[in-house]
Amino acid sequence: MARQDRLLQEDVHDPYFVKQKYRDPSVCEKCSVVFKNGAFEWVKPIPPSAAKMVCPACRRIADKFEGGIVTLEGGFLSQHKSDILNTITNAERAEQAMRPLERIISLTDRGAKIEIQTTYEHIARRIGDAIHKAYKGELTVQYPEGEKYARVFWKREGR
Ligand SMILES: [Zn+2]
């Protein structure tokens, strides 16, 4: 692939974040994340001059517009469900502290299978890595070409 094409692909447009549309500073009326100096941050106290807005993460959550999906499967999952759910929560907290727009949209527990929709791709990757590191098993991460999106699969059989 030509270098030019690759550069274009890395700069994939996020329909939920058009920088020029956000006033600086502004604060999300749903989650209180602050847009300041061109970036989203957890800021306390909230700048008194901040305009109100709804941030891209909260808009994606409302629309269920996922930027990543994590699928966990296998016999080991049912046996260690509560530990694995804790690992997911910890990975979510750690990622959100660094990248405030990375959130879990939904977590669907189907017994021997868990599906997690995320707002963006980084948190999907982080959850997969955290589970793989803690519980081994098989991890696959796919980035469909040209999309700002991650598909993460993890599987472990046995107990
Ligand atoms: Zn928000």
Reported as a single tens digit per residue, the pLDDT across 32-51 is: 999 999 999 999 999 999 99
Under the banding of pLDDT at 50, 70 and 90, the label for residue 7 is: very low
**Tens-place pLDDT, residues 138-152:** 999 999 877 789 999
Measure Cα distances from 19 to 13, 34, 57, 154 in Å: 11, 13, 14, 34
Q: Of 1-5, 10-14, 35-39, 69-73, give the lowest mean pLDDT range.
A: 1-5
Question: How far, in Å, from the CA of 72 to the mean position of ligand 1?
Answer: 27
Question: How far, in Å, from the CA of 29 to the mean position of ligand 1?
Answer: 7
Question: How far, in Å, from the CA of 156 to the mean position of ligand 1?
Answer: 35
SS3 124: helix
Question: How far, in Å, from the CA of 91 to the mean position of ligand 1?
Answer: 19
Closest Cα partner for 67 from 141, 151, 153, 11? Answer: 151
According to the model, what pLDDT value does residue 12 have?
56
Name the pTM for this structure.
0.88
Spans of all domains in the chain: 3-55, 66-155
**Tens-place pLDDT, residues 50-99:** 999 999 999 999 999 999 999 999 999 999 999 999 999 999 999 999 99
Question: How far, in Å, from the CA of 30 to the mean position of ligand 1?
Answer: 5
Report whether 24 contacts 37 (CB < 8 A): yes
Question: How far, in Å, from the CA of 133 to the mean position of ligand 1?
Answer: 30
Q: For residues 96-125, give the mean pLDDT.
A: 96
Mention every residue, 6+ apart, whose C-beta is less than 8 A from residue 159: 75, 76, 79
Q: For residues 102-107, give the mean pLDDT.
A: 98
What is the spatial distance between Cα 157 and Cα 58, in angstroms, rounded to a whole number?
35
Question: How far, in Å, from the CA of 1 to the mean position of ligand 1?
Answer: 37
Report whether 147 contacts 158 (CB < 8 A): no
Question: How far, in Å, from the CA of 5 to the mean position of ligand 1?
Answer: 33
According to the model, what pLDDT value does residue 14 have?
83
Question: How far, in Å, from the CA of 112 to the mean position of ligand 1?
Answer: 32
Question: How far, in Å, from the CA of 83 to the mean position of ligand 1?
Answer: 28
